[in-house]
Structure 1
Amino acid sequence: MTRDAMRLHRVVRTFGSGDAAVTALHDLSLSFAPGTFTAVMGPSGSGKSTLLQCAAGLDRPTSGSVLLGDTELTTLSENRLTRLRRDRIGFVFQAYNLLPTLTAEQNVALPLRLAGRRPARSEVRDVLARVGLVDRARHRPGELSGGQQQRVAIARALITRPDVLFGDEPTGALDSATGRTVLRMLRGLADDERQTIVMVTHDPVAASHADRVVFLADGRLAGALDAPSAEAVAAEMTRMAATPC
């Protein structure tokens, strides 16, 4: 039996206490198989970002289990959790978060340098080649288009060979054509390199590039679609919006 790349079991995340307490995730269980591309969707306030942060070790659940392979994240010390995020988790944000004074290859190498490693130039060039930007290695962010900057950010996330690559609206700041280029690249990473990808998005077209879409509503799992089309995703989001809370 294939081990899950990541599994969340009965995860609860509550903010505040007493009468002011707000529960963002309610007893949520999800698993992500190796080499799969999953999109997470739902209305504003449905818990998408909280789910991503708990899964990526950026936030600790109030209760429940988060497993990366066989490693339980919720019991790790802050130091061990920091090392795990650095070595085994990749994260791509809507904002590219590139350092403007560094070249593309220097931005990509940064996670390894922060970990005390001196990356080989071939290692950095290889990961830039995976995102189609080896010819832009010496360009600074200001000399790159938005889509190219996001691909550099993805290469930076991939340099540590993460078990799971998380994306928080990674195409949200891009025009539709550039966004589709980035999404096709993510699709290729899952298909050709068995990279596990979990992406939060609000866009049905973006979600249609995934193997599966999971829908959240009020912090609970509200459904899923396999092999989704943009039309089916949009119809499900419309249905959820019309369903009384």
Structure 2
Amino acid sequence: MTRDAIRLRRVVRRFGSGDAAVTALHDLTFSFGEGTFTAVMGPSGSGKSTLLQCAAGLDRPTSGTVLLGDTDLTRLDETRLTRLRRDRIGFVFQSFNLLPTLTAEQNVALPMRLAGRRPADGEVREALARVGLADRARHRPQEMSGGQQQRVAIARALITRPQVLFGDEPTGALDSSTGREVLRMLRALADDGGQTIVMVTHDPVAAAHADRVVFLADGRLHGTLDAPSPEAVASRMTRMEAPAC
């Protein structure tokens, strides 16, 4: 059986207080299996980004628990939570966030250097090789395409060998062809490297690269879809977004 990489138990996230309070997540309970690729989808305002932030330790739920393996993120103080995010969680966003004056290998090594650690010999090149950019190590961002820059960002997220790689619209700034290349690479990381991936997306084609799609609506779980196809995902989203009669 697949072990759980992340478990959410009765997670609630509420913003504000009193009559002005807004509940972004309502009593969510589900898990993400180790070595699986999961897409999270839902209409605008459904709680997708809030879910990702709580699961990744970027935000604290109002109530409930979030476990990374056997570690309860909700019980960690800020110092320990920061260390956990640095060492055990990787992040990839729509913006590549590469430093323009640094080469690809320097950008990839940056998280470790900021943590006061020196990468082992060959470690950075290995991370770049995992994303198909071993020959671009000394190129700067402006010398690379958008897809290559996103691959560098993914290599940077992988350098600490995180238990979970979180992506927030990682192909949102890419054209469709380049986006598919990045998605195929993420798929290979899960299939060949056993990497656990959780990706928020609005794109049914992107979601179809995942093993499972988790649907949210109004901060509540609205079902899941295994072995998704773009057509099945789009159909489910259309039904979710249709106005109630």
Query: What amino acid maps onto 2:232 in structure 1?
Result: A
Output the CA distance in 2 between the equivalents of 1:201 and 1:121.
35
**Equivalent residue for 2:58?**
58
**Equivalent residue for 1:209?**
209
**Equivalent residue for 2:166?**
166
Give 5+ residue unaligned stretches, structure 2.
none
Query: What amino acid maps onto 2:25 in structure 1?
Result: L
* Correspondence 1:78 to 2:78: yes
Change (3 A) 1:121 1:138: farther
Normalization by structure 1: what TM-score?
A: 0.98
* Correspondence 1:117 to 2:124: no
Normalization by structure 2: what TM-score?
A: 0.98
Deviations, residues 140-174 of structure 1 (Å, cap 9, x unaligned): 11111000000000000000000000000000000
**Equivalent residue for 1:190?**
190
How many residue pairs are counted as aligned between the two chains?
A: 245
Where has structure 1 moved over 3 Å in runs of 4 or more?
none
Query: What amino acid maps onto 1:56 in structure 2?
Result: A
Secondary structure of the 2:95 match is coil
In the TM superposition, 1:120-131 aligns within 5 A as 120-131=120-131
In the TM superposition, 1:1-245 aligns within 5 A as 2-244=2-244
Output the CA distance in 1 between the equivalents of 2:244 and 2:131.
43
Query: What amino acid maps onto 1:99 in structure 2?
Result: L
Query: What amino acid maps onto 1:125 in structure 2?
Result: R
Query: What amino acid maps onto 2:228 in structure 1?
Result: P
Output the CA distance in 2 between the equivalents of 1:7 and 1:14.
19
Cα displacement (A) at 1:115: 1.2
Give 5+ residue unaligned stretches, structure 1.
none
Deviations, residues 3-51 of structure 1 (Å, cap 9, x unaligned): 3111001000000000110000000112011100000000000000000
Secondary structure of the 1:91 match is strand
Cα displacement (A) at 1:243: 4.8
Secondary structure of the 1:30 match is strand
Output the CA distance in 2 between the equivalents of 1:183 and 1:2.
23
Query: What amino acid maps onto 1:181 in structure 2?
Result: E
**Percent sequence identity over aligned pairs:** 85
Output the CA distance in 2 between the equivalents of 1:34 and 1:217.
25
Question: What root-mean-square deviation, in Å, do the aligned CA atoms of Structure 1 and Structure 2 show?
Answer: 1.0
Cα displacement (A) at 1:2: 4.3
Query: What amino acid maps onto 1:152 in structure 2?
Result: V
